């Protein structure tokens, strides 16, 4: 099997996994009122593979074997492969009404990184990881698995590494090394889509140093593994109608506190166990791909911010006002800047052993930083153009009621000749996107997911060629050194 149907995917989630929601064990994530919505959202990935409109983008066929598999599992070799990957991420996020699907994006980001790091480690005498990574990658690809990535540790005191903390389990660690594998303990946080994936890949969150050997650990486990407990976040968990919440009534992503309560991992699923020097490389290589994924999935959101602002300005009759045009122009250039940087990141890639194209790290981080550092300001502009009705509007029941509906219809119209219903629906879309709990989720996602702002700044500083730039300055100043 290389491609699954949405039904096969859902069936695979009924495997006895230990998921908790508001303190209670969930019997079946696919029918749970909140997590079930996230499952349905994730089905987009499998639906697209069957949809003639997306088939060519979502599925690749191995020319040698004739095997068809999800494009996410295709190892990119050039700019076109990276761009196709980016387009698929963008298209699926568009299907998800601006919410990323993520069930294959993040897992394959990790698999790409694992290939590169295992190759590097093989050069330093640890050749066992290369074969394990290749086998594990084939397992995921051939079973069309959905894969989450748990990288962020809970971390305790942020000014310290794993050692010297209040307790030794703020970073996931090896507590036992056995002939057949390792036993791990600790917890990761913010693990997206883990309630509804087949597998979870665990990576180190940071560079490690001597003495941190037990914490330099990477591995993969099936979601239904003994001792693995997934405590689902309740954020945004209330039920809603699609008149008032046109996006979040249908689309949801779940995050978990991912607890490893002495979980056994067989050696064939262990990709790092004590090699401190490789932990940082693994963490950084993953984000090289993952931030490229991040900016790719932001594009529908940025287009929607510009588009919704234009449309609501028209309904409000202000589309020609100078300050509105200025805001629309800023939103357009915000979208176009990220779009352009994605193209540049793909085109200026480097190919590293074993032949994988890595998006340009400087361009990727600049794109991510541009997106994240300007997001709240963009929200402000969208809200400014829209007006206060974003948070004071009538409910679906008011709209439908014989007693109140006529007042809503009469008084909440906009520009002459436009429909009140259309104005309200658009207002609700913008409210959902920027002013409700889904809007709050998007804001925090923008700032922290795939690394906080400082992480992108740090990478930008590291990657920029300051030496060449300074040399240019010296040359123009007529300075000759050395």
Ligand X SMILES: Cc1cc2nc3c(=O)[nH]c(=O)nc-3n(C[C@H](O)[C@H](O)[C@H](O)COP(=O)(O)OP(=O)(O)OC[C@H]3O[C@@H](n4cnc5c(N)ncnc54)[C@H](O)[C@@H]3O)c2cc1C
The contact set with ligand X (CB under 6 A) reads 106, 149-152, 155, 158-159, 190-192, 255, 444-445, 448-452, 454
Task: Work out the end-to-end distance of the chain between its first and last CA atoms, rounded to an integer number of angstroms.
Answer: 64
Cis peptide before 354 (omega within 30 of 0): yes
Shortest CB 273 distance to ligand X, Å = 19
Shortest CB 96 distance to ligand X, Å = 14
Could you give the CA distance from residue 80 to residue 398 in angstroms, rounded to a whole number?
A: 51
Could you give the CA distance from residue 307 to residue 98 in angstroms, rounded to a whole number?
A: 13
- Nearer CB in complex with ligand X: 342/446: 446
Shortest CB 406 distance to ligand X, Å = 41
- Nearer CB in complex with ligand X: 454/481: 454
Could you give the CA distance from residue 333 to residue 341 in angstroms, rounded to a whole number?
A: 12
Shortest CB 148 distance to ligand X, Å = 6
Q: What is the CA radius of gyration of the chain?
A: 24
Shortest CB 192 distance to ligand X, Å = 3
Shortest CB 454 distance to ligand X, Å = 4
Q: Which two tokens stand for residue 14?
A: 């009924």
Shortest CB 316 distance to ligand X, Å = 32
Shortest CB 202 distance to ligand X, Å = 9
- Nearer CB in complex with ligand X: 444/469: 444
Output 30-33 pairs: Cβ under 8 A, ≥24 positions apart. Answer: 30/196, 33/239
- H/E segment holding residue 21: strand 18-21
Spatial contact of 356 and 116, defined as CB atoms under 8 Å apart = yes
Q: What is the largest CA-CA distance in the chain?
A: 86
- Nearer CB in complex with ligand X: 234/452: 452
Backbone angles phi, psi at 232, to 5 degrees: -75, 140
Could you give the CA distance from residue 329 to residue 312 in angstroms, rounded to a whole number?
A: 15
> For residue 115, which of 74, 70, 171, 62 has the smallest C-alpha distance?
74
- Give ∠ CA 99-304-83 in degrees, rounded to 5: 65
- Nearer CB in complex with ligand X: 378/449: 449
- Nearer CB in complex with ligand X: 129/438: 438
Q: Are strands 228-232 and 18-21 parallel, antiparallel or unpaired?
A: parallel
- Nearer CB in complex with ligand X: 83/254: 254
Could you give the CA distance from residue 453 to residue 460 in angstroms, rounded to a whole number?
A: 11
Q: Look-up: residue for tokens 């050749």? A: 127
- Nearer CB in complex with ligand X: 201/357: 201
What b/e sequence results for 161-195 when a residue is b if at least 16 CB atoms lie within 10 Å of its CB, and e otherwise?
Answer: bbeeeeebbbbbbbbeeeeebbbbbbbbbbbbbbb
Shortest CB 370 distance to ligand X, Å = 17
Spatial contact of 255 and 80, defined as CB atoms under 8 Å apart = no
Shortest CB 450 distance to ligand X, Å = 6
- Nearer CB in complex with ligand X: 152/361: 152
Per DSSP, which regions of 147-305 are E strands? 147-150, 173-177, 181-192, 199-202, 217-222, 228-232, 255-266, 270-273
- Nearer CB in complex with ligand X: 379/426: 379
- Nearer CB in complex with ligand X: 202/302: 202
The tally of CA atoms less than 13 A away on the side-chain side of residue 302 is 28
Q: Look-up: residue for tokens 């009538």? A: 394
């Amino acid at each position: 099997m290389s491609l699954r149907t949405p039904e096969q995917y859902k069936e695979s989630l009924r495997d006895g996994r230990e998921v908790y929601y508001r303190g209670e064990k969930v019997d079946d994530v696919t029918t749970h009122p909140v997590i079930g919505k996230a499952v349905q959202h994730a089905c987009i990935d499998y639906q697209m593979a069957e949809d003639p409109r997306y088939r060519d983008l979502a599925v690749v066929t191995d020319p040698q074997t004739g095997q068809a598999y999800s494009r996410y599992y295709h190892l990119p070799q050039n700019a076109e492969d990276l761009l196709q990957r980016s387009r698929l991420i963008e298209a699926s996020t568009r299907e998800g009404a601006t919410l990323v699907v993520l069930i294959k994006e993040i897992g394959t980001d990790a698999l790409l990184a694992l290939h590169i790091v295992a190759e590097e480690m093989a050069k330093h005498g640890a050749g066992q990881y290369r074969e394990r990574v290749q086998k594990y990658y084939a397992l995921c690809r051939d079973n069309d698995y959905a894969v989450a990535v748990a990288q962020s540790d809970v971390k305790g005191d942020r000014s310290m590494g794993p050692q010297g903390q209040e307790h030794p389990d703020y970073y996931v660690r090896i507590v036992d090394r056995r002939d057949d594998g390792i036993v791990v303990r600790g917890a990761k946080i913010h693990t997206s889509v883990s309630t509804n994936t087949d597998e979870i890949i665990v990576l180190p969150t940071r560079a490690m140093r001597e003495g941190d050997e037990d914490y330099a650990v990477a591995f993969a486990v099936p979601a239904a593994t003994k001792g693995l407990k997934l405590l689902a976040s309740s954020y945004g968990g209330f039920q809603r109608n699609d008149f008032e919440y046109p996006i979040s009534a249908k689309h949801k992503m779940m995050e978990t506190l991912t607890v490893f309560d002495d979980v056994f991992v067989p050696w064939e699923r262990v990709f790092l166990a004590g090699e401190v020097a490789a932990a940082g490389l693994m963490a950084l290589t993953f984000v090289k791909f993952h931030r490229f994924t991040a900016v790719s999935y932001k594009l529908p959101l940025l287009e929607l911010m510009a588009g919704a602002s234009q449309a609501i300005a028209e309904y409000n009759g202000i589309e020609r006002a100078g300050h509105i045009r200025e805001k629309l122009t800023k939103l357009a250039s915000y979208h176009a800047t990220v779009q352009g940087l994605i193209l540049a990141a793909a085109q200026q890639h480097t190919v590293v052993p074993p032949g994988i194209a890595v998006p340009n790290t400087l361009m990727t981080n600049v794109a991510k930083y541009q997106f994240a550092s300007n997001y709240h300001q963009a929200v402000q502009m969208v809200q400014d153009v829209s007006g206060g009705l974003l948070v004071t509007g009538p409910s679906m029941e008011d709209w439908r009621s014989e007693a109140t509906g006529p007042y809503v219809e009469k008084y909440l119209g906009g520009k002459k000749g436009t429909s009140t219903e259309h104005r309200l629906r658009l207002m609700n879309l913008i409210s959902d996107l920027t002013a409700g709990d889904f809007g709050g989720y998007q804001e925090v996602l923008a700032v922290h997911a795939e690394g906080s702002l400082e992480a992108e700044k740090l990478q930008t500083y590291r990657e920029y060629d300051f030496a060449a730039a300074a040399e240019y300055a010296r040359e123009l100043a007529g300075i000759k050194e050395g």
